[in-house]
Amino acid sequence: MPPIQLEIGNFSAFARDRWRPLWTRARRPPNLPLMGRYFAKRLLSLIVSLVVASWVIFFVIEIAPGDPASFMLGINAQPDTIAALRSELGLDEGKVTRYINWFTGMLQGDFGTSYTYRTPVAQMVADRLWVSLPLAIYALTLSTLIALPAGIYAAARRGKSGDIAVMGATQLGVAVPNFWFAMMLVLVFAINLRWFSAGGFVGWEAGPLAALHSLTLPAIALALPQAAILARVMRSALLDILGEDFIRTARAKGLSQRQALWRHGLRNALIPVLTIIGLQFSFLLAGAIIIEQVFYLPGLGRLVFQAISARDLIVVESVVMLLVFAVIMVNFLVDLTYALVDPRLRGRG
Amino acid sequence: MTRSLFLGGILSALVLLAALLSFIWTPYDHTALNIPAKLQAPNAEHWLGTDHFGRDILSMIMVGARTSIAVALVAVGIGMGLGVPLGLAAAAKRGSWLDEGIMRANDLVFAFPSLVIAILITAILGAGAINAIIAIGIFNIPVFARVTRGAALSLWQREFILAARVAGKGSARISAEHILPNVANLLIVQGTIQFSLGILAEAGLSYVGLGAQPPVPSWGRMLADAQTMVSLAPHMALVPGCAIILTVLGLNLMGDGLRDWLDPKLQGGRA
C-alpha cells in the first residue's frame, strides 16, 4: 500500500473516517502518479489481451478444414475459377499478411467482406447489434431490478422464512436452462395468453415500444438465471458488510438494524454487486446467442450460426472477436471502477 | 450431514441410477419409432408420454442422462486434470514468470465465454459430443487453476510447509504430498459446481445443434425437437426440462452441502 502523506492537523479527521463507510469518507487527495501507473498498467494488459485473443481467433479459424472459395463455388467448380475467387477474396496471400490486414482493418471499422453475402461484415454486424445489444441491456436492467430488492430482502431477514423462500427461488433460478424457460414463456404468454408474439422482431422502425415489446420475452428468459446469481451476490455482500465494525458502531450509536443496513450497509455492499453486473453484461451478450435461436431474433447469434453453416469464416471470426472484445473491455472498465471506489487497489497495479 | 447435502445427494443419485440402469434396461427401445402412438401424454403405458415419432420419452430421458453425465464428467476431468497442476505450479512459483504466464493465459480463456469457445471449435471440427466436451473442458481449466492457486498460496505460508522444506522436499513434492491433499475438499466442491454447469452447457450446445448428434440421445436435442411441438404436446418440453433442472439443482445443493460439511467454519453460513 502506498504511503499516504497526511498533515498533522488532518490526522484526527482521517482517524474518525476509519469508522465511516467507504463512500461517505472525506476524500483523500488523489494520488495522480499512482493512479496513472495503475491505468497505464491496466491499459497495457487490455491491449496485450486483445492482440493475443485476435491471434488465437484468427489462427484457430485458419486451421479449419475446407476452403471458403471451393465451398462457395460447389464441387463442380474449375480450379482456375476457384483460384480467381481466392485471389478476389484475398485468400491467396500469406497468413501473416492476411492477419495484419484483418486486424488493422478491424481497428478502422473494416471487418472485411462476407464470403457468402458479398457485403461488408461491419454492416452486417452493426445491423444485428441493433437487436443483440438492446436485448442484453434490457435483460441486464430486468435482472438488476429483480435481484437487488430480492437480495436486500433476504439479507434483512436472514434465516427467516422470507430469506429461505428467496434463496430457494434463486437455487431454482440458477438450475433452469434459459432456453427451456424461454420455451415455457412462449407456451404461456404467446400461445395461450397471446400477450406477446412467439418469435421474430418487428424492428425499430415500428417504434421503440413495439420493438421493446417483441424483445420482452427473450429479455425475461435471459434475465432469470442472471437475477438468481445477482440476488445471491447481493445478499452475501450485504451480510458480509453487516458484520463489519462500522455497522456495529452505527448500531451502538442507536440506529436500528434496518437503518444501519440502508444508510451504511447498502452503499458498501454495492461494490462487489456492481462488479458482477459489469461481468454479466458480456455474458448476456454471448448468452443471447441461444435465446435468439429460440425466438428467431435476427441478432448476432443467428448471424454466427448462419455463417458457420455457410462456412463464412470471416463473419464467424469477426463476431467472435467482437464478443471477446466486449468481455475484455468490460473487465477493463470494472477494474477501473474498482480502483475509483477502493483506493487501496490502485497500489496493487 | 446438512439438509442440502442429503437432498442434493438423493437427486443426483437418482439421475445417476437412471443413467446406469439404462445400460441394462429401459421401458422401450429409445430409438424405436411408433408413429401410431405419437405425441401421447403421460399414461400407464408410456409413463412420461411419447414424442412426435412415438418414441418413449422415459427411455430417451434415461439414455440421455448418460450423455449429459458423460460430457459433464469428462469436461470436469479435463478441467481438473490440467487446471489443478497448473494452479499448483503457479502457487509454488509465486511471482515468477511461470505464475504470471499461467494466470494471464487463464485470463485469456476467461475472455472467451464457453459458448463462444464451442462455436469456434464447431467452426473448425464440426458439431458433436466430443467437441462439446472439449469446449466445456477448456473453459473449466482456468476455473480449477484459479481455485487451486488461491487455496495453495495461503497454504505455502503455513508452518507445516516450512517444515517440509526444511526436511529437504522440493516444490513439486510438497505440492503433491502436502498442498494437494489440503485443497482436495475445495476441489471436490468446485468439481460439483462445474459438473452442474457442464450439464447446463451440454444441454445448451445440443439444443443449438453443436452438441451430441443423432442417434446419440441428449436432453438438449429433445428440447430442440419439442420446440415446434410445444403447443401440441407440452410434455415433450416439460419432461427434459425438468430432468435438467432436477439434475442441476441436485448437484448445486450437493455442492453447497459439501462446502458446509467439509468446512465447519461455513456451517449455517451464507449463500
Q: Please, which pLDDT band fits residue A348 given cuts at 50, 70 and 90?
A: very low
Residue A30 per-residue DSSP state: P
**Does residue B271 or residue A311 have the better pLDDT?**
A311
The domain spans of chain A are: 116-341
pLDDT of residue A344: 58
| pLDDT band with cut points at 50, 70 and 90 for residue A8 | very low
Q: Is A183–B226 a contact, with Cβ atoms under 8 angstroms apart?
A: yes
Q: Helix, strand or coil for residue B88?
A: helix
Cell of A191: 400461445
Q: How far apart are CA B112 and CA A314, in angstroms?
A: 18
- CA nearest to A103, candidates A307, A308, A317: A317
Interface test with A, best of B3, B68, B100, B108 (most A CBs within 10 A): B108
pLDDT of residue B118: 78
Q: What is the DSSP string of A175-217?
A: HS-HHHHHHHHIIIIIIIS-SS-SS----GGG-HHHHHHHHHH
Q: Which pLDDT does position A2 carry in this prediction?
A: 47
pLDDT at A346 over 70: no
B250 and B12 in contact (C-beta within 8 Å)?
yes
Residue A22 CB burial class (10 angstroms; 0-12, 13-18, ≥19): middle
Amino acid identity of A88?
A: E
Mean pLDDT throughout A242-247?
A: 82
Cα–Cα distances (Å) from B245 to A171, A172, A183, B51, B93, in that order, read 10, 8, 14, 20, 41
Instruction: Name every chain B residue with its beta carbon within 8 A of the beta carbon of A328.
Output: 111
Mean pLDDT score, A56-64: 82
Residue A120 phi, psi dihedral angles, 5° rounding: -60, 130
Check whether the bond before B217 is cis (ω within 30° of 0).
Answer: no
Contact yes or no for A261/A241 (Cβ under 8 A): no
Q: DSSP state, B178?
A: I
The answer to whether the beta carbons of residues A267 and A285 sit under 8 Å apart is no
> Residue B82's pLDDT is what?
96
Do residues B73 and B130 lie in contact, with contact meaning Cβ atoms separated by under 8 Å? Answer: no
Alpha carbon A113 to its chain centroid, in Å, reads: 27
Rounded to 10 degrees, what is the CA torsion of B85, B88, B90, B91?
Answer: 180
Indicate the pLDDT class of residue A31, thresholds 50, 70 and 90.
low
Q: Between chains, do A331 and B112 touch, taking CB under 8 Å as contact? A: no
Confidence of residue A109 (pLDDT cuts 50, 70, 90): confident
pLDDT tens sequence for chain B (271 residues): 688 889 999 999 999 999 999 999 989 888 888 888 888 889 888 888 898 888 999 999 999 999 999 999 999 999 999 999 999 999 998 888 888 888 888 888 888 877 778 777 876 777 788 888 888 899 899 999 999 998 898 888 888 888 998 888 888 899 998 999 989 888 998 999 899 999 999 999 899 888 888 888 899 999 999 988 888 889 999 999 999 999 999 999 998 888 888 875 554 444 4
Cis amide leading into A29 (omega within 30): no
Q: What confidence category does residue A139 fall into, taking pLDDT thresholds of 50, 70 and 90?
A: very high
* A169-187 per-position pLDDT tens digit: 999 999 999 999 999 999 9
CB pairs under 8 A between A and B: 119
d(CA B8, CA B245): 12
Question: Do B237 and A180 make contact, defined as CB atoms within 8 angstroms?
Answer: yes
Q: What is the rounded radius of gyration, in angstroms, for the C-alpha atoms of chain A? A: 26
Report the sign of the C-alpha dihedral through residues B118, B122, B128, B133, in that order.
Answer: negative
Interface-testing mutation among A56, A183, A187, A291, with chain B (most B C-beta atoms within 10 A): A183
CATH of A116-341, one of 1.20.210.10, 3.40.630.10, 1.10.3720.10, 2.40.10.220: 1.10.3720.10
- Judge whether A333 is closer than 8 Å to chain B, CB to CB: no
What DSSP line would sit under A46-78, residue for residue? Answer: HHHHHHHHHHHHHHHHHTSSS-HHHHHH-TT--
Interface membership of A294 toward B (CB under 8 Å): yes
Mean pLDDT estimate for chain A: 81
pLDDT band at A26 (very low <50, low <70, confident <90, very high): low
pLDDT value at residue A3: 45
Report the pLDDT value the prediction gives residue A23, as an integer from 0 to 100.
53
Q: Please state which of the ranges A116-125, A288-297, B122-131 shows the lowest mean pLDDT.
A: B122-131
Q: Average the pLDDT over each of A76-85, A133-142, A324-333 and give the range with the smallest value.
A: A76-85
Give A113's strand partners.
Answer: A120
Confidence band for A20, pLDDT divided at 50, 70 and 90: low
Q: Residue A220 — very low, low, confident or very high, per pLDDT cuts 50/70/90?
A: very high
How many CB atoms neighbour CB A103 within 10 A? 15
Residue of chain A whose alpha carbon sits nearest to that of B117? A320
CA distance A78 to chain B (A): 25
